Structure formats: C-alpha cells, structure tokens
Amino acid sequence: MDQGIIKQLKKIVGPDHVSTAREDLLCYSYDSSGVEYLPEAVAFPGTTGEVSAIMSLAAREIFPVVPRGAGTGMTGGALAAAGGLVLVMSRLNRILEIDRDNMVAVVEPGVITGQLQDEVSRQGLYYPPDPASLKFCTIGGNVGNGAGGPSAVKYGVTRDYVLGLEVVLPDGTILNTGVRTAKGVVGYDLTRLFVGSEGTLGIITRIILRLIALPAAKKSFLVFGRDLARITRLVAMILSEGILPCTLEYMDRTAINIVASSLPFTIPEAAAALLLIELDGDHETVAVQSGKLMRFLAQQADLLEIREAKDEKEREKLWMARRSISPAAFQLKPHKISEDVVVPRSKIPELVDFAEKLSRETGLPILTFGHAGDGNIHVNIMLDRNDPGELAKGNRAKEKIFHHVLGLAGTLSGEHGIGSVKAPYLPLELHEENIRVMRAVKKLFDPLNILNPGKMLLDKK
C-alpha cells in the first residue's frame, strides 16, 4: 500500500486515526483463531461517510479492506489474509436510540454486546443473544458472524433480532435494508443476506435490533451425572417433556475440572458431566416449569446431585465458570483447535462419545461443552502447535469430527462462522451448486474482490 493511499486515508479519517506503525499492525494481526496476518495499514473510521469514502478509495486503487470488531472471532474472519487495510469499527460505538414503546434499539457496530444488554435492561427490555465473549465482543461482529450463545435454545440467535441495517458496499454505496416494524416483506430480504456474511459483502455501519420484555424471574440449576451418555441424552428428553429452558448448557468432565475452582461449591467426585439449566419468565411460569423439571429429574437414574443457585451472586459464579471454559482450556495445552459444530439434540451422545474415543486414540485432550439445548457443542482439541506430530494429530482429529458431524445430519458451524480457517472445509457440507450461487452473490456485490477476500469462499486459483 503506497504512501499516496495512506495520505488519502489520513485525509478521510484524520491523521490520528490511521496507522502503519508495526506495533499497531501487530495488534490487529490476530484474533482468537491462532492465525496471524499482518495488515499494511489500520484505520479507525468515525462515521458512515468515512467508511463510504474509504471503500470508494479502495475500489479506485484496488486494495483489500477487512472490517473488524473486537477481534474475538475464532475463524480468522477479521484478519488481513490478503494484506491491505484493516478497518476497525471501535469508534462507531454509540447506542443511537432505544425505543421502549416499540421495543427497538438502533446501534452502531462498535457497541459492546454486554453494554447494550445492560442499557436496555434498565428500561425493562431484553436483548437475548449472549455469546461467551459478550463483555467485550461487539454487536457488529455478532451480526457479521451470526453469533449465538446459551440463550439460543429459547430465544434464537442474532439474526432473529436484526430488523434492518445500514451497509456500505464495496464501491462506497450506502445501502439501507429492512424495517423497524414487527413485519415487513417488501422485496428480497437483504438484511438476512448480510447477517452472517462475515464482512464479505458490505460493511455494517448501523443496526436496527428487535428487543423483548425483560423476564421477571429466573432460576438456575446444576445437574451432575455419573454417566456421560446418559446426561447428554437428557437434553432431548427435557425439551420433549414440554420444559423450555432459556439456557441448557453441557460440560464434560474435562471442562468441569478446569473451572472447578471457580464454582461456588464442590463437584461430586464421580461426576462425568453436568447440565446447567435455567428457566425464565414471569414468576408463575418459572415456578410451574421448575416443579416440572424437578419431578422429571427425580425419575432419572444415574444422577448424582441437583443443585439450585440460591441467589443471584451464586448464579453469576456459575456463569463466570461456564464462560471461562474456553480460556481455561489452555491449562491443558498451549494451543487449541476450537470447533462449534451442531448436531440434532438426540445425536449429542454420539458426538461426545466419538470425541472421547478420538481423545484416547490421539492422546490429545479433547473437551466438549456448550449449548446442548440447540445441539451446538464446542469441541476443543488441545495441542502444542510447535510440535509437528501433535499439530498433525489435531488436524486429523478435526477432519474426523467434521465428517462424523455431517454423518449425524449436523453442520460444521453454529455461531463461529467460516472465516479463513474453515473455508477449505466448506465443500464437505455444501454442494457445488450452493457454492456456485454464493460465488455469484459475492461477485455481484464485490466484483473487484476487495472486501475481506479469502474468507468463507476460498479465492479461485
């Protein structure tokens, strides 16, 4: 990227909001995938107009632009795989409006997810999508990757709350999609097209979100079991009983062990796995559902213990432990391959059993945990990437898991997206016709292939 382009970028966003210093480039060369690509420059736009001007410049000068939120992604989606400019959206961080009467929020992409949840809750409203990184991930990144979280079993994922978008296209055109009403079917659903597109079709600069009423009551339970297959089989059984938790999380023994010190009580020694179950709603509904859940669990064999969080402080400790699993896994090995596969709920026992067998075969720690209520299981393969033998074993294990998941009628990603890390595996799940249509859509929006190239769809040789 020549100095003439850098000069023009500085003119657009101001000299303080562009950098080519190596120390700054290094800060934006990685995410949570373990992959690194050094960009040629980093810019921090503060308005939609600045984003538009940057994309117009990129279209004229033909250089790659990669939009980036907080960098919490697990698949390399926000990395400059082809060099060029990383466009950091952190200055676009305002909650523009909370319309309590119509239960709508309008936000910029740099708003932290947890901060939005806190703000709307003060007005008696609720924004349910809650990825594990909600304390620092951004709404823009959530929308770009189609993020989920523990509450998806009852409330759905990010795409279910996005009503409309303001998007800057690769040529600098500003496009507005969607509505701010409960219904709207005028024209093609372009909003849904951009949600989960990982910044390959346009750069999101404003988001209209649907909100719901804040639940009045919540109860949290931990269920410990001595048999892994049995406790994972309970997931589908609970839901078929007409019990609808707002969260239904699962952790295997390895996951339990690495966060045990964060839990507010001692883990039963014989516990092979646990379920974290939460019920929410009005007080009467929660009481009825809790009674139904306890009666159901009382009939089950092989359960070691059932605990209810006695207060909000204890509940917060449970969730702190749950959200700490992924970073705590580095106690086992210095690196990991983190997958977020999804299978039908009834197939969860087969998936976790396969992962356990694979761990024994490879000698690598493989832990499973996650959003069991919707079949979204996180499989972490722990390894040392500096050991060629372990790295090869880890990559083979990943491929075996992918093939096994697809054999169970599952999918390769529930919320992390594809990025550059999973892009080579896209043909395992999608037919050639699907990929051809996706390429045509990409070419229509981005004929010069300047917007986040090399992501989701590998560039043709």
Look at residue 301 in the predicted model and tell me its pLDDT.
85
Strand-by-strand arrangement of the 41-43 sheet:
18-19, 41-43, 85-88, 65-68
Strands 95-99 and 104-107: antiparallel
| pLDDT band, very low/low/confident/very high, at 318 (cuts 50, 70, 90) | confident
Instruction: Work out the angle between the directed axes of helices 388-407 and 348-362 (0-180°, nearest 10).
Output: 160
Query: Which domains, ranges and CATH numbers included, belong to the chain?
Result: 3-88 (3.30.43.10), 95-213 (3.30.465.10), 217-325 (3.30.70.2190), 332-423 (3.30.70.2740)
Return d(Cα 341, Cα 32) in angstroms, integer: 17
Rounded to whole angstroms, how far apart are CA atoms 311 and 390? 44
Q: What is the pLDDT of residue 324?
A: 87
- Angle in degrees, CA 379, 380, 384, rounded to 5: 155
How would residue 460 be classed by pLDDT, with cut points 50, 70 and 90?
low
pLDDT 10s digits, 263-298:
777 889 899 999 999 999 999 999 999 999 999 999
In sequence order, the 6+-apart residues with CB closer than 8 A to the CB of 215 are 126, 246, 280, 281, 282
Nearest residue to 3 (alpha-carbon basis) of 61, 66, 81, 82: 61
Question: pLDDT of 140-173, one tens digit each?
Answer: 999 999 999 999 999 999 999 999 999 999 999 9
How much is the pLDDT for 461?
52
CA distances from 125 to 118, 159, 447 (A): 9, 18, 41
The Cα–Cα gap between 297 and 274 comes to 13
pLDDT of residue 265: 77
Average pLDDT, the chain: 95
Percent of the chain with pLDDT over 90: 91
Letter for the amino acid at 277? Answer: I
Q: Summarize the confidence of residues 406-426 as an average pLDDT.
A: 96
